[in-house]
Chain A
Amino acid sequence: MPFGKSKIFWALVFAATFILALDPFGRHLDQTLAFGLPQAVIYYVALQLLLFIELLAFSRLYWRQA
């Protein structure tokens, strides 16, 4: 995966995740529940899981040890 070695690629991945956390799609306007919780909470739990997966890929593909 050539992208995995690119510093810019990973900067963009984490920046995009941060932008998603700013709620550009207005998830907070949807006040219905999912799994008993507001969709906004589910949205952020999903983003935290996404961040975990990104960090996992980052640590395997880019972060080399000294």
Chain B
Amino acid sequence: MIELAVVAVYLLALLAIGYWGYRKSGKTPEDYFVANRSLGKVVLFFTLAATNFSAFFFFGFAGAAYTHGYSYYGIMAFGTAFIAVMFYVLGRRIWRLGKAYRLITPSELVGERFKSDGLRVLFLAVMVLFTIPYLATQPIGGGIALSKLTDGLIPFETGAVIITIAILFYVLLGGMRSDAWTDVLQGVIMIIAMLSAFGIVLSGLGGLEPANQQLLEQRPELFSRPGASNFFTPQIWFSFMILWSLANLMFPQLFVRFYAAKDENAIKWSALLYPIITIILFTPPIILGVLGNQYVPGLLGKEADQILPKMVSLFSGPLLAAILMTGSFAALMSTADSQLLAMSSMLTRDVYARFINRQASQRKQLLVGRLLVAVLALVGLAVALTPQVSIFELLASTTFTGLAILFPTAFAALYWKKATANACILSIVSGELAYLAFYFGLIPKELAFGFLPAIPLVAFSSFVLIVASLLGKPDQRHAENFLAPVENK
């Protein structure tokens, strides 16, 4: 029962913070969706990190390290740390434009920059299409974790419902303010859970050196860069290193966080601390995952994702298992709540207030936003509880590549005055169609030259954007006026 008590305390703390966020918040869409652009450096850093690190961070990392070996650390830890550079390249400009034009959604920025409703809707549609399946993976993870933690006392379905209701409560009440403040708590819990698990398991193993030395003698391939399954060729290595920088800020929940920053100082601090948090949070699951080969051998496929809880249960009691599971809830809930809010803001501002009710008052937009949060949460839950989810599994597995194709358009919107709306539309449509063709084998995989498809696809959609823009007629005066707030460095 100690497990349930730990989880219950955690959920109650979230609800209390959610209520506090509600008491502090104003009654405008700007306050609800981007916390009135008031997030300081500590809150912004934690909310960026907690939002980025999903359920996959807790279970998938250790599972992949178990399968591939230590080489997984480089692509995940350094690849993710390098996103900090994008906080300057994209994040700073997003913040400045958001502040200047009171923007709230990613599609709003692209739509206003190119004066194109078509591009606005397309950008929104791609973001939502690839984010909803990813949203559904979070209640699935929560349901499984809660069920395992209670030895089936709470069934998977009930677990998924409990997690969804808790998220709904604080997001509906306090919007971005509650979301970001709960992210601080969730970020701290993730750090405590991961470091506690690491420390206790490591002391049970008798230290790093003997455990690694023994494994090195038995399974040297786990210490090589190609990895145990020879997966990491130089092309794949390069692809993963750059993929996170291209794709991560294209997730709407991360994009909108730059609007919510109080000032550039908050973005600077988040960028600075990002390489450090990736060292602190990514080393434990990778090390425990690789060492798991010695203590829990023979896990295949998705079974490998259970290596972290299995290692913890080998070397500790129920309290640590409960703390670790609470950490996993923190990871998945901090991602899901942000996804809900970001998608709701886009549908409210870029569909409802733009096309359905142009005269909608702020109060009405707020009401619709809250309603959409509830609807989207129920959609995510329904997908999670549906046994036949192959199409959503497919979309979830293609999320990063599907969103990376938006990168050339976002970059052009922020930097290139000669880019045109039609060129961006062509770039996105041709990129996504080419991805479909790649995925279903209509374009031979050899054309990727050994890279992940995302790399040639981003190169292709960038090429299309550049050529089509040069052939088109850009509205350079509008571009110059629109980008004026970002022109000084």
Contact = CB atoms under 8 A, between A and B. Distances in A.
Interface of A: 7, 14, 17-18, 21-23, 28-29, 31, 33, 35-38, 40-41, 43-45, 47-49, 51-52, 55-56, 58-59, 62-66
A66 B96 contact: yes
Contact of B268 (A36, A52, A63): A63
Contact of A38 (B79, B223, B488): B223
Contacts of B70: 37-38, 40-41
A8 B99 CA distance: 28
11 contacts: A31-B224, A37-B287, A38-B223, A41-B74, A41-B283, A48-B276, A49-B275, A59-B268, A63-B264, A65-B265, A66-B488
Contacts of B272: 52, 55-56, 59
A52 B74 contact: no
A39 to B, nearest CB: 9
A23 B78 contact: no
A23 B263 CA distance: 36
A44 B84 CA distance: 16
Given A41-B283, A48-B78, A55 B84 contact: yes
Nearest to A24: B234
A25 to B, nearest CB: 12
Most chain B CB within 10 A, of A35, A43, A62, A65, is at A65
A22 B489 CA distance: 29
B241 interface: yes
Contacts, number: 110
A21 B208 contact: no
B237 interface: yes
Contacts of B74: 21, 23, 40-41, 43-44
B303 interface: no
B41 to A, nearest CB: 12
Interface in B97-155: 99
Contact of B283 (A7, A31, A45, A64): A45
Contacts of A59: 268, 271-272
B393 to A, nearest CB: 31
Contacts of B397: none
B276 A52 contact: yes
Contacts of B276: 48, 52
Contacts of B264: 63, 65-66
Nearest to B79: A21
B463 interface: no
Contacts of A62: 489
A51 B84 contact: yes
Given A22-B237, A65-B265, A52 B73 contact: no
A40 B84 contact: no
B73 A21 contact: no
Contacts of B472: none
Contacts of A65: 263-265
